[in-house]
């Protein structure tokens, strides 16, 4: 029987809360989410945290683990535990609700402000648009498309941290995919919104978003693309 223990420091309470330490058995294979679940089941039934799929599809279990925002379900304890100590806090840059749960509303709002809703330019009577999968615009959009709104980049962004009016990497990355989507009827509006006050002109290119993205997207590159478009203008061919 393995008697090795893992010390888990978990944020309890809201803004004025603090870290509480729990001891759980250190196992050969365990994710941070496994550990939090074990703490909740055995030690602290009132511990609030979020998860759904447990396999890196939904993005709801993002938390700050030993100082960095991560998906807890896809983070093995062995990789991040610092001398057998794990510190789990809620995501940065978002209002705290309780323990490890944040209010994601401000993050979702940034998507609206960045012109993120898709708006088709055809009616249902028209045939579906034929999009060349190898066109430059499509390949550019595809490279940034897989974001699942987990807010890891938003939480890791220092510009968001000092300026809550900044739209942040995820929303601007979304705007970049739409600007490159020939089926999007409001490309110019999306571009204008992504470049308005609080938009991509505020990015300092620190690159935290790209370094932290769990699926290795590059919002930095998307934002750089938007900035480049400011010089060249939108491609009017479509």
Report the interface residues with another protein, using CB under 8 A: 162-163, 192, 195-197, 199, 201-202, 227, 230-231
Least spacing, CB of residue 105 vs another protein, in Å = 23
Which class for 172: exposed (0-12), middle (13-18), buried (19 or more C-beta within 10 A)?
A: buried
Nearest CB to another protein, comparing residues 23 and 205: 205
Least spacing, CB of residue 108 vs another protein, in Å = 23
Least spacing, CB of residue 165 vs another protein, in Å = 10
Nearest CB to another protein, comparing residues 59 and 199: 199
Please, what is the end-to-end C-alpha distance for the chain in angstroms?
65
Q: How many CB atoms lie within 10 A of CB 18?
A: 8
DSSP single-letter state for residue 106:
H
CB 117 within 8 A of CB 194: no
For residue 116, the Cα-to-chain-centroid distance in whole angstroms is: 15
Nearest CB to another protein, comparing residues 14 and 204: 204
Nearest CB to another protein, comparing residues 168 and 199: 199
């Amino acid at each position: 029987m393995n008697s090795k223990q893992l010390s888990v420091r978990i944020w309890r309470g809201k803004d004025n809360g603090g870290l509480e330490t729990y001891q759980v058995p250190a196992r050969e294979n365990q994710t941070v989410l496994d550990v939090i679940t074990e703490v909740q089941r055995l030690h602290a039934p009132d511990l609030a945290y979020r998860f759904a799929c447990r396999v890196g599809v939904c993005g709801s279990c993002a938390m700050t683990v030993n100082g960095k925002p991560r998906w807890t379900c896809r983070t093995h304890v062995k990789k991040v535990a610092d001398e057998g100590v794990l510190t789990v806090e809620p995501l940065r840059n978002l209002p705290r609700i309780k323990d490890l749960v944040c209010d994601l509303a401000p993050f979702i709002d940034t998507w609206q402000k960045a012109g993120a809703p898709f708006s088709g330019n055809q009616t249902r009577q028209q045939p579906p648009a034929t999009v060349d999968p190898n066109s430059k615009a499509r390949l550019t959009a595809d490279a940034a498309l897989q974001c699942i709104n987990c807010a890891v980049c938003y939480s890791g962004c220092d510009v968001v941290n000092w300026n809550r009016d900044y739209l942040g990497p995820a929303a601007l990355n979304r705007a970049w995919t739409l600007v490159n989507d020939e089926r999007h009827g409001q490309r110019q509006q999306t571009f204008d919104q992504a470049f308005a006050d609080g938009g991509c002109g505020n990015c300092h290119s620190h690159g935290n978003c790209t370094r932290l993205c769990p699926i290795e997207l590059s919002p930095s590159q998307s934002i750089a693309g938007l900035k480049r478009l400011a010089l060249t203008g939108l491609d009017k061919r479509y």
